[in-house]
Structure 1
Amino acid sequence: MYVAKTGTSAYTDYNTGAADPSKRNELGKNEFLRLLITQLKYQDPMEPVKDQDFIAQLAQFSALEQTENLRRVMEQFAQSQEQMGIIAQATGLLGREVVVVNSETGEKTTGIVSSIRFVDGVPQLQVNGSVYFLWEVQAVNSGD
C-alpha cells in the first residue's frame, strides 16, 4: 500500500501571514500629501511652484494611490488563493484513509476522513469520531 505525505506549507504560510505592510519603509499617500502641503506652505511667494510642476506632483500622488489600491487588492487575492488551496487540500481528503497524530497526546490514528468542518476558516477533519486539524495529518493512504 502506497503512503503519501501531505504538505501543510500553504496552511502554515496562510496562518503566519506576510510581513506587515504598515511597517514597510515606503512613502505612503499620507506622507506624500504632507510633503506636498509643506512644500506649498513654505514656497517662496516671489517664485511659486509652476503649474506644470504642481500638476506633475498631483499625477504622482494619483499614481501612488492607485498603486496602493492595487497592492491591497493583490494581497487580498493572494490570501483568497491560499485559503482556496487549504479548502481544496482538506476536501481532497474526504473519504480517504489518513494517518493522523493528535498534537496534544502524540497518539497516532489511522482512519477514514468522514467529514470536514471549518471553524474560523481552519479546516477540522473527523477521523474515527475524533476531530483533527489538517496539520495533524501525517500521511494519506492510497485507495489501492
Structure 2
Amino acid sequence: MATTNSLNTVTVNGVTYSAEDYAAQQTAKAASSVSSNSALGKDAFLQLLVTQMQYQDPLDPQDNSEYLAQLAQFSALEQMTNVSEALEKTNTLVSNIDTSMLVGQLSGMIGKDLQWTTTTTVMNTDGTAVTDSNGNAKTTTTTHEGTVTGVSISDGSPSIIAKGTDGQTYKVSISDITRVGSAS
C-alpha cells in the first residue's frame, strides 16, 4: 500500500497502514463488537471518538466544535444509560414488592378448598396434536378440586400447591384458579 506522507501512517505487527485505512479498520472492529441489536454502546462510542482523535491528520486537525458536539452526545448517552439502569432497578423492586404481597395474600389461602382447571392438547399416538377442521389443536379442559397446602415461587412467579381429592399434589398457576372456598 503506497502512502504519500509518512507522518500519516500507522505500523502494526509489521504492516503499515495509512491513518485513514487504520482508522477505518478500527472503526470496523468497533462496529463488529456492537451488540446484536445494532445499538452503539457507550464503550464503542468512546472508542470510536478516541480513535478518531488519535489518528487525525496533525497538519489538518478537525474543528474543535465537532469534538465538543460528539462529547455532548456521549454525555447525553451516558445519562440516558444511567436513567435506563435506574428504571430497570425500580421495575425489579416494584415487581418484588408485588410478588411479596401476592405471596402474603396467597398464604392466607392455606387450608382452604380450591377448584382449578387445566387445559391439555389432545395428542395422536405419533405425538402430534389432533386438529379440528380449521387446523386448530383440539384441547380438553379438566376441573380439579383439592385443598391448598402451600405457596411456591418459581422463576419469580407465585403458584399454589394443592392436594387434590385424588390424593395427588398439584402445582396450580394463579390464572387456573376458578374458586377458593366451598361451593355451597
Give the residue type in structure 1 aligned to 2:79.
Answer: Q
Q: Greater Rg, structure 1 or structure 2?
A: 2
Distance 1:80 1:134 in 2: 23
How far is 1:86 from its partner? Answer: 4.2
- Percentage of matched positions with identical amino acids: 29
Q: TM-score, normalised by structure 2?
A: 0.49
Residue 158 of structure 2 corresponds to 123
Q: Which has the higher contact order (CA 8 A, sep 6+)?
A: 1
- The unaligned stretches of length 5 or more in structure 2 are 1-34, 121-140
Residue 58 of structure 2 corresponds to 45
Task: Specify the SS of the correspondent of 1:99.
Answer: strand
How far is 1:102 from its partner? Answer: 6.5
Distance 1:35 1:81 in 2: 37
- The unaligned stretches of length 5 or more in structure 1 are 1-21
Distance 2:175 2:119 in 1: 7
Give the residue type in structure 1 aligned to 2:176.
Answer: V
The 5-angstrom pairing of residues 1-144 of structure 1 reads 22-93=35-106, 94-95=108-109, 97-101=113-117, 108-119=143-154, 121-128=156-163, 130-135=169-174, 137-141=176-180
| Change in CA separation of 1:79 and 1:23 when aligned onto 2, cut-off 3 Å | farther
Distance 2:70 2:49 in 1: 8
Q: TM-score, normalised by structure 1?
A: 0.59
Task: Specify the SS of the correspondent of 1:62.
Answer: helix
Distance 1:47 1:40 in 2: 12
How far is 1:32 from its partner? Answer: 0.7
Instruction: Return the structure number with greater helix share.
Output: 1
Matched residues, number: 122
Residue 18 of structure 1 corresponds to none
Distance 2:163 2:118 in 1: 12
Q: CA RMSD in A?
A: 3.4
Residue 13 of structure 1 corresponds to none
Moved more, 47-56 or 67-76: 47-56
Task: Specify the SS of the correspondent of 1:126.
Answer: strand
How far is 1:30 from its partner? Answer: 1.8
Distance 1:91 1:44 in 2: 67
